[in-house]
Amino acid sequence: MKGAEGLQGSNQQMIWGGNNMFNKMKKLLSVGAVVASAAVLLTGCGGSQQAASSSGSAAQEISGKISASGSTALLPLLKPAQEAFQDKYEKVTVNVAGGGSFTGMNQVAEGSVQIGNSDVNLPDEYKDKGLVDHKVVVEPFVFIVDKANKVDNLTKQQVIDILTGKITSWKEVGGDDQPITLIHRAKSSGSRATIADVVLKGASFTDNAVIQDSNGAVRAAIASTPGSIGYVDAPYADDSVKVLKFDGVEYSPQNIIDGKYPIYGYGHMYTKGEPTGAVKAFIDYILSDEFQNTQVEKLGFIPVNKMPQK
């Protein structure tokens, strides 16, 4: 009996020892799982930090100088874009100048600037220069007069007759008996080319006109010249001048989108070959949702993605 009791006690000790060892193994396995999970989490965090660091360093890698010239109609868009882009990429310097659309195309074709800004489609004489077209915005144009002018609306034919010199007095279109002074842009201007294409349809401008070298200069001259008329990119039309209706339709972005107001063109940024580096990043930024959907309309233009696809 004593032998049986001793055997029973020995068996109980073995069972207890086995349970104790099993519990220890469970604890070790649990600790191992926690350590493994922590390692995975730490690896994940490290990966995220590394990705973020890589993304940040990628932004920092964009550097250099960007030179652009051409359309003055695009300046109200490009100046704010320039400032925002330089804030985003501190190692980039962007220089944007005017001079007219054809000047911009000439200079980018010659390689003296990296971007040629223009209000016109690429003419045939530039199609062998290796230029790549980037449509970045819709540019609306309006006809403006001095604020004292009584005329509020001109038909398309009346505008044609004024621009070609057939109508020379405001009396002929419902205004005062006052001579009409046409103030507009030089032949190198994309704004002038847009008006010639959209409004004149092949007719020629009269030579009896005052020529200015920018949209801003046209606006300033019209504001201070009684009886004057001219055209400017819509963002330039401020309280110093009066905007005319065209064929009874008032200018608004929605009227352009709906096809009711016809005087507009596209803003182009031409590069010699496909852009790379900082130049590509600058054009991509202007075309991004970040800029197109938040800034373009505020600046008086129309996002390219809002126009009906033809």
Would you place residue 60 in the very low, low, confident or very high pLDDT band (cuts 50, 70, 90)?
A: low
Tens-place pLDDT, residues 271-293: 999 999 999 999 999 999 999 99
Q: How much of the chain, in percent, has pLDDT values that exceed 90? A: 76
Query: Is 140-258 in the same CATH topology as 64-138+265-299?
Result: yes
CATH C-level class of 140-258: alpha beta
User: In CATH, what number does 64-138+265-299 get?
Assistant: 3.40.190.10
**What are the pLDDT digits (tens) for 110-167?**
999 999 999 999 999 999 999 999 999 999 999 999 999 999 999 999 999 999 999 9
Q: Whole-model pTM?
A: 0.75
- Does residue 307 surpass a pLDDT of 60? yes
Give the start-to-end residue ranges of the domains of the chain. Answer: 64-138+265-299, 140-258
Instruction: Return the closest-CA partner of residue 230 out of 179, 287, 184, 293.
Output: 184
d(CA 160, CA 152): 16
Tokens of 213: 């070298």
Asked if 146 contacts 242 with a C-beta cutoff of 8 angstroms, the reply is yes
Alpha helices in the chain (DSSP H): 2-61, 75-88, 101-110, 156-163, 190-195, 215-223, 253-257, 277-287, 289-292
Residue 258: pLDDT over 50: yes
- Dihedral sign computed on CA atoms, order 93, 99, 103, 105: positive
Evaluate whether 258 touches 44 at the Cβ level (below 8 Å). Answer: no
Separation between Cα atoms, residue 77 and residue 182, nearest integer Å:
26
